[in-house]
Amino acid sequence: MSSTEFNNLLLGNADFLRPYAVTLTKDSESAKDLYQETLFRALSNRDKYLAGTNIRAWLYTIMRNIFINNYRRGTRQYRLLDNAVGDYLLSHQPSAIGNFAESDLRVKDVQMVVYNLPVIFKQPFLLYFEGYKYYEIATILNEPLGTVKSRIHFARKMLKTRITRH
């Protein structure tokens, strides 16, 4: 297939890509960029197109792959930026000194609420809080696994309501 024939075939079948690009990106400006990138890639890879095959499917595939690659690149950049902010926050030394007396009082309030839980909920919750797995807690307390999970769940709910009241 000659370059002119391919270009005519491409331009004759390219209009259907615009709504698909908007569907993928949900943004008209990004859709225009995706559309242009798709046509550019199709033109630069015309030697990979097999004459007689469905050009629309080929173009759809190119557009979808570009969109997926851009999305993955964007999430990877976001993760890198997110880690950079986290590293800054970890290495940043605050200039003010915190009030540890206030936080100690809050910890004591939480401990008091935990120890005032009914024993049936407190035991599995404390074991879970110490790092035991659900199945280990079930073995230690000789209770079914579902019962242990349920009691820990209800203990959390009780703690949440009691702590927010204080």
Average pLDDT, the chain: 81
Same domain, 32 and 110: no
93 assigned to some structural domain: no
89 assigned to some structural domain: no
Instruction: Select from 83, 115, 132 the last residue of a domain.
Output: 83
Same domain, 111 and 142: yes
Same domain, 15 and 65: yes
| Mean pLDDT (whole number) for 47-72 | 86
Helix H or strand E segment including 31: helix 28-44
Count of domains observed in the chain = 2
What share of the chain in percent tops pLDDT 90? 16
Same domain, 72 and 115: no
Output the domain CATH number for residue 116.
1.10.10.10
Range of the domain at 124: 99-165
94 assigned to some structural domain: no
Summarize pLDDT for 19-56 with one digit per residue, the tens: 888 888 888 888 899 899 998 998 888 888 888 888 88
- Please name the residues in contact with 79: beta carbons below 8 A apart, sequence gap of 6 or more: none
How high is the pLDDT of residue 89?
A: 53
91 assigned to some structural domain: no
pLDDT of 84 above 90: no
Same domain, 16 and 77: yes
Residue type, 118: P
CA–CA separation, 103 and 114 (whole Å): 17
| Mean pLDDT (whole number) for 82-94 | 55
pLDDT of 108 above 90: no
Same domain, 75 and 110: no
Output the domain CATH number for residue 12.
1.10.1740.10
Residue 142: pLDDT band (50, 70, 90) is: very high
Q: Are 34 and 24 in contact (CB under 8 A)?
A: yes
Give the end-to-end CA distance of the chain in Å, rounded to a whole number: 78
Structure tokens at 111: 């401990």
Count of other CB atoms within 10 angstroms of residue 124: 26
Same domain, 77 and 113: no
How high is the pLDDT of residue 151?
A: 93
Same domain, 77 and 122: no
More confident: 130 or 147: 147
Instruction: Select from 57, 83, 109 the last residue of a domain.
Output: 83
Q: Where is mean pLDDT largest: 48-52, 87-91, 99-103?
A: 48-52
Same domain, 20 and 61: yes
Cut 0.85: pTM above it: no
155 assigned to some structural domain: yes
